[in-house]
Amino acid sequence: MTTSLKGKPAADCVRDGVKSRVDERRQKAGSVPGLAVVLVGRDPASEIYVAKKHKAAVAVGMHSFECRLDANSGTGAVLDVVSQLNRNPDVHGILVQLPLPDGVDSDAVIQHIDAAKDVDGLGRLSQGALVQNRPGLRPCTAVGIIDLLDYYEVPLEGRQAVVVGRSSLVGLPTALLLMHRNATVSVIHSKTPSPARIARTADILVVAAGRPGLVTREWIKPNAVVVDVGIHRTDSGIVGDVLADEAWGHAGAFTPVPGGVGPMTIAELLHNTWMAFQTQVVAG
Ligand code: NAP
C-alpha cells in the first residue's frame, strides 16, 4: 500500500494560519500585507501561475498588485518596476514570475529586489541565510516540501535523503533544508553517474529534475517516501518526473501530480509574504 501525500490539506493548514493572522492584524491595526507579482511577456503557463497567486493572496485578505510588461521590455525597464515596488510601502513582498524572456537579465532583476521583500527567496541574502540556517525567506517550493513531510509526520532526522536536481529554486534549497533537519543528504544532478543506484539508498527521495518519467521503480527503495516536484503538461495530462505507475504499490508514500507539491508552493508564498510584512511593519 502506498500512502498518497496530497498537498491540499497541508496547504490549507498553512493558508488558514496566514489568513487568521492577516484578519487579526486588519482588526487591530487596519493594515494588511501586500504582494506584488511582476509578469514580463505573455507566457501562457506564467499567466496561469500569476492568476492563481493573485486569487490566493486576495483569498487570505492581502492586497495583490500585478505589474505587467511587454515581452520586449529590456532589463532596465524591469529594474525600474522593481525599484518602484521596493519603494512602495504598501508592497511587502515582490515576486518576479520566472522564466523571464530572453534579453532580460534574470539574475540582475532577482538581485535588485529588496532583501526584505524577497518572497521567492532567490536573492543572495536569502540564499546565504538559508545556507547558514539563519532566519530568512526560503524558496517556496522547498519549504513547501518540508511542511508537507511534517504534515504527514514523516521523520527526517537521521534518515537518508536523496534530492534529484540542484537548482537554486528547488533542489539545492530542499537539500539544505533537509540537512538542517538532520537528514543525511545526497544530491543527484545531470552529471551524476549511476543515479538509480544512489537514489535507491533513499528513505526520502525528492525528485526535481524537470524530466518527465525520469524516475522508474529501479530508482526507488521499497517503502521509500517519494516527493515528485516535476510538472509537465503532456497529451495524456499533467505528469511528474516520476513514472507514477511504477511508484504506486512500491513506494511507502508518494505525492500525486497534480495535487501534491503544487498546492504547497502558493501557500508558502502567502506565508513568506506574511513573514515579510511582519518584519517590515509589525516588528519594524
Ligand atoms: P531546473 O532549473 O531545470 O533544474 C533541474 C535540475 O535537475 C538541475 O540541477 C539538473 O542538473 C537536474 N537534472 C536534469 N536532468 C537530470 C537527469 N537526467 N538526471 C539527474 N538530474 C538531472 O528545474 P527546477 O526549476 O528545479 O524545476 C524542476 C521541476 O520542478 C520542473 O518540472 C518544474 O516545472 C517543477 N517545479 C514544480 C513546482 C511546483 O510547485 N510543483 C515549483 C517549481 C518547479 P544540472 O544542474 O546538472 O543541470
Atom of ligand 1 nearest to the CA of 192: 20
- What's the pTM? 0.97
Q: What is the pLDDT of residues 201-210, one digit of tens each?
A: 999 999 999 9
Considering only residues 249 and 283, tell me which one the structure prediction assigns the higher pLDDT.
Answer: 249
How far does residue 157's CA lie from ligand 1's centre (Å)? Answer: 25
**Architecture of the domain made up of 140-262:** 3-Layer(aba) Sandwich (3.40)
Delimit the domains of the chain by residue range.
29-114, 140-262
| Average pLDDT across the chain, whole number | 97
How far does residue 194's CA lie from ligand 1's centre (Å)? Answer: 18
pLDDT at 206: 99
C-alpha cell at 55: 486569487
C-alpha cell at 272: 513568506
DSSP element (H, E) containing 11: helix 7-29
- Is residue 282 over pLDDT 80? no
Q: What is the pLDDT of residues 13-52, one digit of tens each?
A: 999 999 999 999 999 999 999 999 999 999 998 999 999 9
Burial of 103 (C-beta count, 10 Å sphere; 0-12/13-18/19+): exposed
- Is residue 284 over pLDDT 70? no
CATH of region 29-114, choose from 3.40.50.10860, 3.90.470.10, 3.90.228.20, 3.40.50.300: 3.40.50.10860
pLDDT at 50: 95
Ligand 1 site, CB within 6 A: 141, 164-167, 169-171, 188-191, 195, 208-211, 214, 229-231, 261-262, 265
- Is residue 229 over pLDDT 90? yes
Domains 29-114 and 140-262 share a fold: yes
How far does residue 210's CA lie from ligand 1's centre (Å)? Answer: 4
